[in-house]
Amino acid sequence: MPVYAQRSFEDLGTPLSGVTFCVVDLETTGGAADDTITEIGAIKLRYGETLGTFQTLVDPGRPVPAFIRLLTGIDDSMLVEAPQIDAVLPAFLEFLGGAVFVAHNARFDVSFLNAALTAADYSPLSNRVVDTAALARKILSGEVPNHKLATLATYLRCAHRPCHRAFADVLATADVLHTLIERVAGFGVTTLEELLAVSSTRIDGTFSKIEMTGDLPRRPGIYRFIGSTGKTLYVGKATDVRARVRSYFYGDPRSRIRDLLR
């Protein structure tokens, strides 16, 4: 009888129940590379419990454009006594700590924060990032007309709705995050590593088939993919059958694997 090595907790991944998420939203003077931050909102969460909040207006060092004033309601008079970003960054970085950075369209928020950090002689963010917009594209594909935060908050019946103010949008994003995590739990996604892998999957309609992997063993073995006619499509071997088979659904780049999954 074969003897299998016991897997460590590190091999199993980081359980989502123990992950600290920091949900962040920024308001800015615009979307161009030379625009700057006008407001930061953040909430730190673990297992649905609020650990702390952070919110501040930020002096952008320039007048707020008219269309931004109309969109956010933030005008120059509100920013007269606001701190500049250099004064805000130390407190924000301390609040963020090593938490997983969460944002809706996270590339936008991360790029603005990294630009501010670089200008102030800090290192760019090294936190792991979860993008709720990217998650929604995978998990809710075909269910919603678009993946805007307001659309998702309404469709998912979230308690909070966004309004283009940083902290209000953070609360809505946190609601969306929790609902999406509940959705993927139904596919057996229980670790941070699996959640991050879901975000990088290709949108091809095959991810829901990952449900078939739920009872696969976490030990060495040989596996087969079998088509609807009973024909063997693929045979492989792995030291962890469940992890290896599930990896195909996380966006394997090989075209033959994508065809196989279809």
Q: What are the residue numbers of the active site? A: 164
Q: For residue 220, what are the CA distances in angstroms to 50, 214, 225, 239, 244? A: 40, 16, 16, 4, 10
Report the alpha-carbon angle 235-238-244, nearest 5.
85
Let me know: does 195 contact 16? Beta carbons within 8 Å.
yes
Query: From the CA atom positions of the chain, what is the Rg in Å?
Result: 21
Rounded to whole angstroms, the Cα distance separating 251 from 128 reads 19
Let me know: does 223 contact 244? Beta carbons within 8 Å.
yes
Q: For residue 144, what are the CA distances in angstroms to 90, 136, 138, 149, 233? A: 39, 9, 11, 11, 33
| Strand partners for 224 | 235
User: What does DSSP assign to residue 145?
Assistant: S
Rounded to whole angstroms, the Cα distance separating 61 from 42 reads 22
